[in-house]
């Protein structure tokens, strides 16, 4: 059984036991989080598709960790103008393990 959910402006395909790194949630480590923006649920034989969301469908997960992603470098330069700007960024992430899919 799998579902397609939305969190942090992105869509994710999840199954029970899937570990996701998603945009930071304000939940503490060990807390339960629910995702109610469910677009699709499939159990292999039947598929339920929302228009655009499924009514009453909920995916629950447990917060495993709060972490940061890899550092990316943002470098801007304008030719012939002696302008250079170097900046780094690390995105805050939440690691979530999916525990249950209810349709």
Closest CA to 26 of 88, 101, 94, 74: 94
Residue 103 in this model has a pLDDT that exceeds 90: no
Whether 60 and 32 have beta carbons less than 8 Å apart is answered as yes
Rounded distance between C-alpha atoms, residue 94 and residue 24, angstroms: 5
Domain count across the chain:
1
Q: Give the pLDDT confidence score for residue 45 in this predicted structure.
A: 92
Q: Give the pLDDT confidence score for residue 80 in this predicted structure.
A: 97
Closest CA to 72 of 87, 89, 58, 85: 89
pTM attached to this predicted model = 0.84
49-84 pLDDT, tens digit per residue, is 999 999 999 999 999 999 999 999 999 999 999 999
The pairing of strands 92-102 and 58-68 is antiparallel
Domain that holds residue 8: 2-102
23-46 pLDDT, tens digit per residue, is 999 999 999 999 999 999 999 899
């Amino acid at each position: 059984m799998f579902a397609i959910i939305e969190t942090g402006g992105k869509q994710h395909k999840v199954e029970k036991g899937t570990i996701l790194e998603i945009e930071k949630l304000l939940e503490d480590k060990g807390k339960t989080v629910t995702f109610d923006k469910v677009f699709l649920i499939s159990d292999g034989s039947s598929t339920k598709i929302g228009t655009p969301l499924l009514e009453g469908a909920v995916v629950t997960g447990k917060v495993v960790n709060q972490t940061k992603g890899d550092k990316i470098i943002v470098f801007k330069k304008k030719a012939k103008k002696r302008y250079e700007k170097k900046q780094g960024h690390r995105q805050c992430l939440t690691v979530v393990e999916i525990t249950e899919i209810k349709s």
